[in-house]
Amino acid sequence: MVQHRLTGATAFGSLLAVLLLGACGNADDTDTSAGSIAEPSLAAHPGLWSYRSTRAHSETAAPVRLRIPSIDVDTGLETLGRAPDQSIEVPRQPSSAGWWAGGPRPGQVGPAVILGHVDSKTGPAVFFRLGELDVGDEVLVDRADGTTARFLVTTLERYHKAEFPSELVYYPTVEPELRLVTCGGPFDPSTGHYRDNLVAFAAQA
């Protein structure tokens, strides 16, 4: 089917040519090819001969600090990998957050993921007030090269841990995005864990 796509166009063009010839009565006037293709001249436009496709890829710097002014968070960032059970590692220190190094870096296209504890056995932790975030709140991530990625909160959701939405959190996105993850919901003293996870979604400002 594709092959005949411009068949009609060609016929139409021929019709146009006939119409134009009839209208102008001068073959020179209808020599529309004139000027369309220049005679080859290697020196005329050196851009063609010097062009080389871009190979310079600038890597986004690693995140080093997280700041969320509306809930008074200002903390360094640990680097998180994957635990033996395939779950994500959690920050070692309750007072600091951690960045999932297997995913995009904040400010890079894709969903960067930062985890923080909501509390510890001894008191509140870095994301104790994460649930107070409102849509539009600013989240800043400082990077090792001195630059800062700025995000705005878009939604705040709570999920049962057994139904954690891995696709929403980790699946590739087409713009730079950020997820902030901590615990929430009922606490089970027998296991020492919360039932749910709280996830703040943010988009680059």
Partner 1 sequence: MFTPGTGGSAAKAVDRGLRRSCCPRSFVRRRPIRGPFVGSRAAAVGVAACIGAAVFPGCSSQWTADQDEHASQLTAESTAVHDHRSGAAAVKAVDAVDLRAKLEQLLGQHAILTVRLTRARLRGDGDLAQIADAALGENTADLGELIGTVYGGEAAEKFEQLWFGHVTYLFDYSRGVADNDEAVQSQARRQLDDYTTDLSQFLEAATKRAAPASVVAAELRMHVDQLLQQVDAYARGDYDRAFVLERESYEHMFPLGKALAAGIVTGGGGGLPADFDSPARQLQSRLGLLLGEHAELAVDAMRSGISNSPDFPAAGAALDGNTREITAMIESVFGAASAGSFQALWADHIDAFVTYTQAVVADDAALENAATERLKGFNANFAAFLSTSTQGRLGAPALADAFVMHEDLLLRQINAYAERDYSTAYQLSFEAYQHMFALAAQAATAIGDSAAAQSPTGGPQTGAGGMAATKGW
Which residues between 89 and 118 bind partner 1 (CB under 8 A)? Answer: 90-91, 100, 102-104, 108-110, 115-118
Binding piece for partner 1, criterion CB under 8 A, among 27-35, 63-71, 135-143, 144-152: 27-35
3-state secondary structure of 7: helix
Cβ atoms of residues 25 and 19 within 8 Å: no
Question: In this structure, what are the phi and psi dihedrals at residue 84, rounded to the nearest 5 degrees?
Answer: -55, -30
Determine if 79 is a binding residue for partner 1 (CB under 8 A).
Answer: no
Q: CB of 124: closest distance to partner 1 in angstroms?
A: 6
Q: How far is Cα of residue 74 from the mean position of the Cα atoms in its chain?
A: 23
Cβ atoms of residues 169 and 113 within 8 Å: yes
Q: CB of 204: closest distance to partner 1 in angstroms?
A: 12
Binding piece for partner 1, criterion CB under 8 A, among 11-19, 67-75, 135-143, 144-152: 11-19
Cβ atoms of residues 198 and 183 within 8 Å: yes
Determine if 136 is a binding residue for partner 1 (CB under 8 A).
Answer: no
Give the residue, chosen from 77, 181, 202, 204, that forms a contact with partner 1 under the rule CB under 8 A.
181
Exposed (0-12), middle (13-18) or buried (19+): which is 113, by Cβ within 10 Å?
Answer: buried
Task: Kindly write out the interface string for residues 138-157 of this chain, putting x where it contacts partner 1 by CB under 8 A and - elsewhere.
Answer: --------------------
Determine if 123 is a binding residue for partner 1 (CB under 8 A).
Answer: yes
